Structure 1
Amino acid sequence: MSKLFNNDKPIFIQVREKIEDQIVNDQLKEKDQAPSTNQLVNFYKINHATVSKGVSQLVDEGILYKKRGVGMFVAEGAKEKLMQQRKDAFVDDYVIGLVQEANKLRISETEIFELIKKVKGRDLT
């Protein structure tokens, strides 16, 4: 397995997330040609079926679209769609638990905001 991947989740999901990251970070813009499955296979040195599964999910969700004989391209609205999906996941994965724990500890909204500002002010790299 390539050192670019970890064991936390299936590789096809990580391939998908790498493409999503490129779209969210404006490395790939709407209507740009996305890397082909063959390019991804050669770059990451992983199985073609693994790459195809991740890419197919993006096509099924309308993030990428195929032009027969030409390649895959970033769909219009792909970035906005991904940003909304990620914001929703952020709420589910982090905010709900944070609010539940804050309620248990009787931390006020003001205190939560102050804690967030304090953390955001740190160098987290």
Structure 2
Amino acid sequence: MVEDQIVDGTLGEDERAPSTNELAAFSRINPATAAKGVNLLVDKGVLYKQRGIGMFVAPGARDRVLAERREVFADRFVAPLLEEARKLGLPPDDVARLIRERASRTPH
């Protein structure tokens, strides 16, 4: 949820992020679970702690989140797509053409 807010611009750099308790209450999860999630974001350099004040969005967080999500997208979707295309004998240019054709028929 926090990463989504960073990506869509709801949370900007150096803005205060929701606290662990706020996240736990909103998501109806255990505060310890919310704390683990927040700590993962700190470890990834997406959030930083200001002692006694709270968590804040780190400079460059949006770029880091987008880069990670692109990599995950490539692993989960593009790699299997290319593997299936290889099995079908479709070269990458044909795959790209198919994607462009489908994209033009799909509203954005």
Whether these two folds match at TM > 0.5 is yes
Deviations 1:3-62 (A, max 9, x none): xxxxxxxxxxxxxxx111111111111111100111112222221011011111001111
Question: Any unmatched runs of 5+ in structure 1?
Answer: 1-17
Selected match of 1:30 from 1, 13, 17 = 13
Aligned-residue Cα RMSD (Å) equals 1.4
Correspondence 1:2-21 to 2 at 5 A: 18-21=1-4
CA–CA separation in structure 2 for the residues paired with 1:45 and 1:87: 29
Selected match of 2:64 from 81, 99, 106 = 81
- Percent identity over the alignment is 45
CA–CA separation in structure 2 for the residues paired with 1:118 and 1:53: 43
TM-score, length of structure 2 as denominator length: 0.91
Alignment length (residue pairs): 107
Residue 96 of structure 2 is matched in structure 1 by: 113
CA–CA separation in structure 1 for the residues paired with 2:10 and 2:102: 28
Correspondence 1:84-103 to 2 at 5 A: 84-103=67-86
More helix by share: 2
